[in-house]
Chain A
Amino acid sequence: MAITMTKGQVGLTGNSAVAYAMKQINPDVCAAYPITPSTAIIEDFSGYVADGAVETELITVESEHSAMSACIGASAAGARVMTATSSQGLALMWEMLYIASGMRLPIVLANVNRALSAPINIHCDHSDSMGARDAGWIQIYSETVQEAYDNMFQAVRIAENSNVLLPVMVCFDGFITSHAIENISLVDDAEVKDFVGEYNPATMLLNTDNPVTYGAMTLPDTYIEFKHQQSQAMSRSKDIALEAGKEFGKRFGREYGLFDSYRLEDAEVAIVIMNSAAGTTKVAVDELRKQGKKVGVLRPRLFRPFPFREIANALKGIKAIAILDRVDSMNDFGGPLFNEVRSALYDLETRPKVFGRIYGLGGRDYKVKDALGVFDELYKVVETGKIDTLTKYITL
């Protein structure tokens, strides 16, 4: 895609913006298999490879299982590696996702959120990346095209930090963000290079002067120590992510935190929601604020690791909170965001009333009126002091 700028702004789809970020990062290896709605990322990127705009080795493989396997091999060999996928593609990578994180390989994956089959559906929900939430990958969720683009650079910096060395998944909504054109600001190529830095792994398979073995077996006498190390790295990555978001803001004027708070300071009720639907909810907040109602939104960005203390701190003092999941855990107990945020609030001295709602599965529209409906419910809970239904579906 030809990039032409007007007043420093350029109109790009989420996929084109992420592909352009990958071009600017210029990874050593990209192994990928196309799948809707992330196909255009690799389509655009393969154009950059064919044009010689990047030095990347593009490996076209026969499945996503092979894509992630090739990424793992290349990363162990010492390369900076990126890939992109969606839905069934991420599901097919499942086995290898754990190997990438367990081997501490800082691979960056752009996941364009799409529903999982069956029934088959190509539209947005978060069941793909939420299913992979315990795979040991850092997960960053993006509201807009601009944020998806910006998150790619932060992802590289977080993943490759010597205190982290974990793979990172950058998630954004299929079609809603991946295919909609937004005006965004691009970062200068030289500034990208400076921000992401050079990748110098401590050990690599291709260093024949210092031969190493990757992927060895560990038994009960050692396995748990490696998992403990991995868990500690995940815990440390929270501060590194915060630092990357701050540094990004300092350099490019767009600062990112662990989550995004919108008109939350004096809010009586709030919605917690991720990705593009947060934007819709913010419109509802603005409408209600005009009527003098104190409402707000909290949009988690970093879901893995889960910043439970910070989120609880940001939500304390709010009377009633609705947590909206674009995925069902099929556990008869609400979605993953509901469960984790609700659990994070447990240690507050005065616990807010909390309920969960599942919305927008398989690309069902979530409109401003849906957000207004949830705020109505929240005010009812505040008035009565009772929650009628703890979890249920909306947008049915």
Chain B
Amino acid sequence: MEKKNNFPLGGVIPKGGTAHDYSTGGWRKLRPVVDKDKCTNCLICWVMCPDSAVITEDGKMVGFDLEHCKGCGICAVECPDKVKAIKMEQEAE
């Protein structure tokens, strides 16, 4: 927020993409870890991730954006049974 007297009416955020600037990774209890030897780059994890925290390059899954990943584990569940390349590990470990 810039000036206090210049707040947008009704709490409207007047531009797009601002969620990127807000780190939500600090809430995470479980961290996704990918085994790239098993991963087939099917990108189901990328489709299913509710926080758009799966990073891709040239159509390949390359890892996780841990600034935004909340550790929900959807990627690990959705990773196909034959592959199971993603595991959730305790942050504390």
Q: How far is the CB of A10 from chain B (nearest CB, A)?
A: 39
Interface centre among A213, A226, A229 (most CB of B within 10 A): A213
Q: Is B59 an interface residue (CB 8 A)?
A: no
In which size bucket is the chain B interface? 10 to 19
Tell me the interface secondary structure of chain A in the complex. loop
Chain B residues 4-22 with CB under 8 Å of chain A are 4, 7-18
Cα A326 to Cα B86 in complex, Å, equals 65
Chain A residues 164-205 with CB under 8 Å of chain B are 165, 202-203
Interface centre among B1, B8, B17 (most CB of A within 10 A): B8
Residues of A within 8 A of B18 (CB): 213
Tell me the interface secondary structure of chain B in the complex. loop
Cα A245 to Cα B8 in complex, Å, equals 29
Choose one: A213, A221, A222, A230; the contact of B12 (CB below 8 Å): A213
A229/B7 in contact, CB under 8 A: yes
Size of the chain A interface, CB-CB below 8 angstroms: 21
Residues of B within 8 A of A105 (CB): 10
Choose one: A165, A211, A221, A226; the contact of B11 (CB below 8 Å): A226
Q: Is A225 an interface residue (CB 8 A)?
A: yes
Residues of B within 8 A of A213 (CB): 12-13, 16, 18
Residues of B within 8 A of A216 (CB): 11-13
Cα A214 to Cα B14 in complex, Å, equals 9
Cα A229 to Cα B7 in complex, Å, equals 9
Q: Is A396 an interface residue (CB 8 A)?
A: no
Residues of A within 8 A of B8 (CB): 203
Q: Is A103 an interface residue (CB 8 A)?
A: yes
**Chain B residues packing against A (C-beta within 8 Å):** 1, 4, 7-18
A-B complex: 8 closest residue pairs judged by Cβ atoms: A211-B16, A104-B10, A213-B13, A103-B10, A104-B9, A225-B7, A226-B11, A216-B13
